[in-house]
């Protein structure tokens, strides 16, 4: 008996010492994983700039769904910035459980440089791991004072164009490829012509913000520029909510199918033991409710029934894809946006 008590005391002391150690460890790593109790779980969604409102809405819905399914409370922490900058941060150790970025290459970069997830990540979820799509449109001030109708109006002298920096922003890279695809189509496939065209376009850009949201603020709030090359979802957000009646959307004759992919980051979720919730968080984006939320935030849904219901808000556009036109994102990134690529050749600030 006495022996057992002693043993119990010893164990208790051990536990309390362990607790003290844990507390110290906790305060050292004040950003603790917050997974301690099984009834609570938290995941970090590292996303690109214009998805702020989308995930604000979706996180609430997913929280309810997960609670009803497992009885567990889930907190989704959010971080938003330019897509390229976010990929860089995850490579440098930002503990993202899921990444929802603007384009596939940024997630490829995480797989290549930090080996945090397998190279074939894009085949793990349906539709190339892209639960929603968008495209690139032109946003002009009400009444379209400069008479912008298509991409070639953006290279006219005296037209000031706002678009973010392709080095840090995903949307900016879609913008660039949209303009390139237009110029290729117009000249019957001449790369030289396309390069001259985008060079003239970027001469009309007075400021390159680091992310799409920064550019929208530059155009909408600061009143700079005649036309904003924007994500369709960002442009619709402006015309519906923010600047009702002050702006209008111009749909170009051709644009690019923008596919912002999502995936979980294996090494980070395994370390935290949050794989199940991270995976379900992304899969639920494909559900009826998830797709509705995407459409309500002006992303084009994949699910036919939801797409039909919200068809009125998305104009018909002739779309090229990065896979068919540019041979996939790895190749496009290498040709256009890597150091010494086409963008470095054509862009001379000032």
Partner 1 sequence: MATSLTWTGSKSSGPSFAASGALTESASLRWILIGTALVFLSVFLFLPLAVVFSSALERGIGAYLAGIRDPDALSAIRLTLLAAGIAVPLNMVFGVAAAWALGKFDFIGKSILISLIDLPFSVSPVVSGFIYVLMFGLQGLLGPWLIDHGIRIIFAVPGIILATIFVTFPFVARELLPTVQAQGNDEEEAAVSLGASGWQTFWHVTLPNARWALIYGVILCNARAMGEFGAVSVVSGHIRGLTNTMPLHIEVVYDDYQFVAAFAVASLLALLGLVTLAVKSLIEWQARRAAQIAQAGGGEP
Candidate residues 43, 83, 84, 95; the one interacting with partner 1 per rule CB under 8 A: 95
214 is a contact residue toward partner 1 (CB under 8 A): yes
Report the residue count for the chain.
350
**Would you list the DSSP string of 270-317?**
HHHT-HHHHHHHHHGGGSHHHHHHHHHTTPEESSHHHHHHTGGGS---
CB of 200 to partner 1, least distance (A): 30
162 by Cβ neighbours in 10 Å (0-12 / 13-18 / 19+) ranks as buried
Residue with smaller CB distance to partner 1, 12 or 32: 32
242 is a contact residue toward partner 1 (CB under 8 A): yes
Q: What is the C-alpha to C-alpha distance for residues 200 and 205, in angstroms, rounded to an integer? A: 9
Stretch that binds partner 1, among 78-86, 253-261, 315-323, 337-345 (CB under 8 A): 78-86
Q: Is 18 helix (H, G, I), strand (E, B) or coil?
A: helix
Candidate residues 57, 72, 94, 347; the one interacting with partner 1 per rule CB under 8 A: 94
How far is it between the farthest Cα atoms of the chain?
94
Candidate residues 30, 223, 245, 304; the one interacting with partner 1 per rule CB under 8 A: 30
Cβ neighbours for 19, distance < 8 A, ≥ 6 positions apart = none
Cβ neighbours for 345, distance < 8 A, ≥ 6 positions apart = 195
319 is a contact residue toward partner 1 (CB under 8 A): no
195 is a contact residue toward partner 1 (CB under 8 A): no
Q: Is the Cβ–Cβ distance between 306 and 297 less than 8 Å? A: no
82 is a contact residue toward partner 1 (CB under 8 A): no
156 is a contact residue toward partner 1 (CB under 8 A): no
Candidate residues 93, 147, 315, 327; the one interacting with partner 1 per rule CB under 8 A: 93
245 is a contact residue toward partner 1 (CB under 8 A): no
Q: How many CB atoms lie within 10 A of CB 123?
A: 10
Residue with smaller CB distance to partner 1, 67 or 113: 113
| Tokens describing residue 9 | 């005391």
29 is a contact residue toward partner 1 (CB under 8 A): yes
31 is a contact residue toward partner 1 (CB under 8 A): yes
Residue with smaller CB distance to partner 1, 91 or 224: 91
Stretch that binds partner 1, among 29-37, 147-155, 173-181, 298-306 (CB under 8 A): 29-37
Residue with smaller CB distance to partner 1, 77 or 289: 77
Q: Is the Cβ–Cβ distance between 199 and 342 less than 8 Å? A: no
25 is a contact residue toward partner 1 (CB under 8 A): yes
Could you give the residue ranges of the DSSP H alpha helices within the chain? 2-28, 52-70, 83-91, 104-109, 126-129, 170-186, 191-203, 212-220, 232-237, 266-272, 275-283, 288-296, 304-309, 322-326, 329-332, 342-346
Pairing of strands 319-320, 255-258: parallel
213 is a contact residue toward partner 1 (CB under 8 A): yes
Residue with smaller CB distance to partner 1, 217 or 321: 217
Stretch that binds partner 1, among 212-220, 222-230, 252-260, 277-285 (CB under 8 A): 212-220
Residue with smaller CB distance to partner 1, 64 or 113: 113
CB of 31 to partner 1, least distance (A): 3
CB of 217 to partner 1, least distance (A): 7
The residues binding partner 1 (CB under 8 A) are 25, 28-31, 44, 49, 52-53, 77-81, 89, 91-95, 113-114, 211, 213-214, 217, 221, 241-242
């Amino acid at each position: 008996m006495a022996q057992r008590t002693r043993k119990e005391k010893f164990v208790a002391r051990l536990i309390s010492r362990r607790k003290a150690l844990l507390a110290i460890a906790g305060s050292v790593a004040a950003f603790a994983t917050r997974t301690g109790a099984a009834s609570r779980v938290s995941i970090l969604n590292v996303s690109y700039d214009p998805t702020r409102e989308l995930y604000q809405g979706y996180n609430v819905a997913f929280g309810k769904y997960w609670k009803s399914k497992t009885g567990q409370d889930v907190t989704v922490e959010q971080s938003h910035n330019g897509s390229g900058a976010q990929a860089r941060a995850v490579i440098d150790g930002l503990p993202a459980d899921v990444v929802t970025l603007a384009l596939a290459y940024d997630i490829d970069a995480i797989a290549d440089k930090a080996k945090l997830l397998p190279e074939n990540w894009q085949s793990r979820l349906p539709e190339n791991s892209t639960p929603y799509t968008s495209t690139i449109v032109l946003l002009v001030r009400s009444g379209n004072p400069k008479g912008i109708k298509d991409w070639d109006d953006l290279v006219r002298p005296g037209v000031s164009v706002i678009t973010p920096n392709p080095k840090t922003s995903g949307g900016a890279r879609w913008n660039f490829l949209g303009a390139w695809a237009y110029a290729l189509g117009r000249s019957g496939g001449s790369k030289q012509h396309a390069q001259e065209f985008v060079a003239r376009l970027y001469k009309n850009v007075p400021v390159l913000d680091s992310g799409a949201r920064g550019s929208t603020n530059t155009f909408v709030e600061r009143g700079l520029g005649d036309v904003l090359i924007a994500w369709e979802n960002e442009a619709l957000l402006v015309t519906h909510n923010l600047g009702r009646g002050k702006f209008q959307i111009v749909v170009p004759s051709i644009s690019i199918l923008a596919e912002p992919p999502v995936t979980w980051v294996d090494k980070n979720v395994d370390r935290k033991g949050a794989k199940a919730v991270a995976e379900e968080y992304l899969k639920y984006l494909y559900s009826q409710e998830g797709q509705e939320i995407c459409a309500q935030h002006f992303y084009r849904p994949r699910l036919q029934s939801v797409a039909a219901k919200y068809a009125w808000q998305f104009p018909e556009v002739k779309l090229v894809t990065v896979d068919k036109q540019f041979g996939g994102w790895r190749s496009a990134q290498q040709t256009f946006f890597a150091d010494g690529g086409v963008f470095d050749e054509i862009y001379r600030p000032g």
